[in-house]
Amino acid sequence: MLPHCTPWPADVAARHRAAGHWRGETFGALLTRLAAEQADRVAVVSGSVRRTYRELDERASGLAAGLAALGVRPRDRVVVQLPNIAAFLETTFALFRLGAIPVFTLPAHRSSEIVHLARHSEAVAYVVADQHDGFDYRTLARQVRDEAPSVRHVLVAGDAQEFTALADVHADGADFADSDPSDVALFQLSGGTTGTPKMIPRTHDDYLYSIRASAEICGLTPDTVYLAALPAAHNFPMSSPGVFGVLHAGGRVVMAPRPAPSAAFPLIEAEGVTLTGLVPPLALLWMETARTTRHDLSSLRVLQVGGARFADAAAARVRDALGCDLQQVYGMAEGLVCYTRAGEPEVFHLTTQGRPISPDDEIRVVDPDGSELPPGEPGELLTRGPYTIRGYYRADEHNAVAFTPDGFYRTGDVVRRLPSGHLVVEGRVKDQINRGGEKVAAEEVENHLLTHPGVRDAAVVAVPDRFLGERTCAVVVPRGDPPTPADLRAHLRDRGLAPYKIPDRVEIVDEFPVTGVGKISKRELRRALAARLAPTR
Ligand code: OOB
């Protein structure tokens, strides 16, 4: 396995192989197989671009050869920051074919995240689109090139300006050795609880298992038409079952440039989309907009909702509003994914977040001391299994707290387990804000706030929000004249923090409530704020 990653113990790995979970297939080989089996079927649609499986395979090979000619080698890391366009899949599969390792970042990330990830992974290349959603990624690329010296190539989908156009990176027929299926295929990003985003190494074996099993649980076939509405780089639309699951089943991926109904609804009608996945606030928006839309959404069979808790009351309205079934998905980029399943009594779909993919997913629900709780009692979820990582990349210190000595991942989620095995997510013990599915690590934002000269101390907490579920509130103890919220926001933007991490509210206080041992009591802070702030909408 790539250095600085934590492999599964050999006996455990042998068990996952013997059980048939890990099949020794790689992503590169998968595309070769699909191109043979499904050659002329359309794999991906993006705007006016339509590519068959054969075309996707050919373009990935050509690009892989071009990348090799630029000096990109197997196991090199490549930061990929692409919106939902065909080039996302072409680049990803080119890297797989070459054996280079994509580090998937979200279109919303900015220099703070990208420079850190490029440095931390010692990435040799950075792949972006020229522009997306009003943002020019070439500007960001200049900063990344200057601040992350390992990055030798910036590749741009579209107008490359001084960089290299992705379209020019093709070369003819190199033959690539297949990667080791037990090695790292890609990096996902952790929602995080720490000062810097953590990198999640996923192997071909483990990720393909989760994808194959997800495709099966979700009943995907070559007739499945999946709308990638959320950014495809995120673990949910990528693999649960997401774009990879749909390709695995020989279906069709339709790339939506944005998840808003104005972009998504016309695509559902035009392409006959059968399945898509959304975070709760978008599901609410779609349900609202569907009431008056002139678009025909009747092809949609299943709406998956995940990434944050979907309120039971909203879940109950999905069928009427959108004319399709609801499937709840509770997962994490670190591994474990749970689904409600077709054929289960409706109450599970409406009130639970599903049950794990694998019979070999181990679940423990524990109290703050780590002792297992009686069935049905809420506690922190710990998990271990055939597609849950054993450690973050180059993060020994954090790994020592994020995993138990016997390899369980501490999810930081508070869940209740029903006798049926379904989990109900009840809350969280981790220091993170779940802003409608977008995860904000409090410590990361606090560290940035503390660099402002007018900030003596800062705490970032969630405040309830009717639409997003939670919004971020930065509570600041000033040094001298209190900075204005606008000052602080501008400061965080200047430091290159992703827009979704910029606090929605700023509150100035004289001091923080403290716990018995003198630490900031975030629980007390949240309570005081909730009492003080009326819901924002
Ligand atoms: C997904 O992945 P991440 O890595 O962005 O975030 C994971 C965290 C979970 O630990 C939990 O706190 C929260 O997001 N979460 C949910 C949830 N789904 C995720 N909380 C309540 N209800 C749900 N349904 O968000 C993700 C990855 C794969 C599939 C689906 C979601």
Q: Per-residue pLDDT tens for 300-353?
A: 999 999 999 999 999 999 999 999 999 999 999 999 999 999 999 999 999 999
Domain boundaries, the chain: 53-179, 432-533
- What is the pLDDT at residue 530? 81
Q: Confirm if 471 and 465 have CB atoms less than 8 A apart.
A: yes
Q: Choose which residue among 104, 276, 330 to substitute to test ligand 1 binding: the one with the highest number of ligand atoms within 8 A of its C-beta.
A: 330
Which pLDDT band holds residue 532 (cuts at 50, 70, 90)? confident
Question: Torsion angle of alpha carbons 351, 356, 361, 362, nearest 10°?
Answer: 0
Buried b (16+ CB within 10 A) or exposed e, 164-181: bebeebbeeeeeeebbbb
The CATH classification of domain 432-533, taken from the options 3.90.25.10, 3.30.300.30, 3.40.50.2000, 3.40.30.10: 3.30.300.30
Cα gap 153→376, rounded to integer Å: 53
Fold match, 53-179 / 432-533: no
Q: Is 388 in the pocket of ligand 1 (CB under 6 A)?
A: no
Q: Which two tokens stand for residue 257?
A: 């440039």
Q: Choose which residue among 279, 326, 332, 389 to substitute to test ligand 1 binding: the one with the highest number of ligand atoms within 8 A of its C-beta.
A: 332
- Please name the fold of domain 53-179: Rossmann fold (3.40.50)
**Atom of ligand 1 at shortest range from CA of 430:** 12
Nearest to 417 by CA among 464, 476, 364, 457: 364
pLDDT by residue (tens digit) across 214-243?
999 999 999 999 999 999 999 999 999 999
Task: Say which residue the tokens 């090799």 belong to.
Answer: 68
- What is the pLDDT at residue 533? 75
Q: Is 245 in the pocket of ligand 1 (CB under 6 A)?
A: no
In single-letter form, the type of residue at position 22 comes to W
Q: Which two tokens stand for residue 320?
A: 């009427």
- What is the pLDDT at residue 534? 62
Q: Whose CA is nearest to atom 2 of ligand 1?
A: 332
Note if the pTM is more than 0.95: yes
Which pLDDT band holds residue 71 (cuts at 50, 70, 90)? very high
Share of the chain above pLDDT 90, in %: 96
Q: Which two tokens stand for residue 327?
A: 């499937």
Residues 6+ apart with CB under 8 A from 195: 441, 443, 444, 447
**Atom of ligand 1 at shortest range from CA of 334:** 4
Q: Which two tokens stand for residue 177?
A: 């050795």
Q: Is 355 in the pocket of ligand 1 (CB under 6 A)?
A: no
The arithmetic mean of pLDDT across residues 433-451, rounded, is 98
pLDDT by residue (tens digit) across 445-480?
999 999 999 999 999 999 999 999 999 999 999 999
Nearest to 352 by CA among 316, 320, 319: 316
Measured in angstroms, how far is the CA atom of residue 136 from the centroid of ligand 1?
Answer: 29
Q: Is 240 in the pocket of ligand 1 (CB under 6 A)?
A: yes
Q: Confirm if 92 and 233 have CB atoms less than 8 A apart.
A: no
Secondary structure (3-state) at 447: helix
The arithmetic mean of pLDDT across residues 272-293, rounded, is 98
CB atoms within 10 A of CB 343: 6
pLDDT by residue (tens digit) across 90-132?
999 999 999 999 999 999 999 999 999 999 999 999 999 999 9
Q: Is 328 in the pocket of ligand 1 (CB under 6 A)?
A: yes
Cα gap 387→365, rounded to integer Å: 19
Q: Is 307 in the pocket of ligand 1 (CB under 6 A)?
A: yes
CB atoms within 10 A of CB 281: 22
Residue 213 has pLDDT above 90, yes or no: yes
Cα gap 488→454, rounded to integer Å: 9
Task: Say which residue the tokens 């569907």 belong to.
Answer: 290
Measured in angstroms, how far is the CA atom of residue 191 from the centroid of ligand 1?
Answer: 9
Q: Can you spell out the DSSP letters for 169-237?
A: ---S----PPPPTTSEEEEEE---SSSSPPEEEEEHHHHHHHHHHHHHHTT--TT-EEEE-S-TTSHHH
Q: Average per-residue pLDDT in the chain?
A: 97
- What is the pLDDT at residue 173? 75
- DSSP letter assigned to residue 394: T
- What is the pLDDT at residue 219? 98
Q: Whose CA is nearest to atom 16 of ligand 1?
A: 308
pLDDT by residue (tens digit) across 157-211?
999 999 999 999 999 977 899 999 999 999 999 998 999 999 999 999 999 999 9
CA distance to 29, 86, 158, 209, 357, per residue, from 96 (Å): 9, 16, 22, 16, 25
Q: Confirm if 208 and 235 have CB atoms less than 8 A apart.
A: no
Measured in angstroms, how far is the CA atom of residue 236 from the centroid of ligand 1?
Answer: 8
Q: What is the predicted ipTM?
A: 1.00
H/E stretch holding 331: strand 325-332
Q: Is 330 in the pocket of ligand 1 (CB under 6 A)?
A: yes
Q: Confirm if 395 and 198 have CB atoms less than 8 A apart.
A: yes
Strand intervals (E) in 391-454: 409-417, 423-428, 432-435, 438-441
Strand intervals (E) in 59-173: 77-81, 101-104, 125-129, 131-132, 135-136, 153-157, 164-165
- What is the pLDDT at residue 491? 98
Measured in angstroms, how far is the CA atom of residue 409 from the centroid of ligand 1?
Answer: 14
Q: Is 28 in the pocket of ligand 1 (CB under 6 A)?
A: no
- What is the pLDDT at residue 535? 54
Specify the pairing of strand 423-428 against strand 409-417: antiparallel
Measured in angstroms, how far is the CA atom of residue 437 from the centroid of ligand 1?
Answer: 7
Q: Confirm if 179 and 185 have CB atoms less than 8 A apart.
A: yes
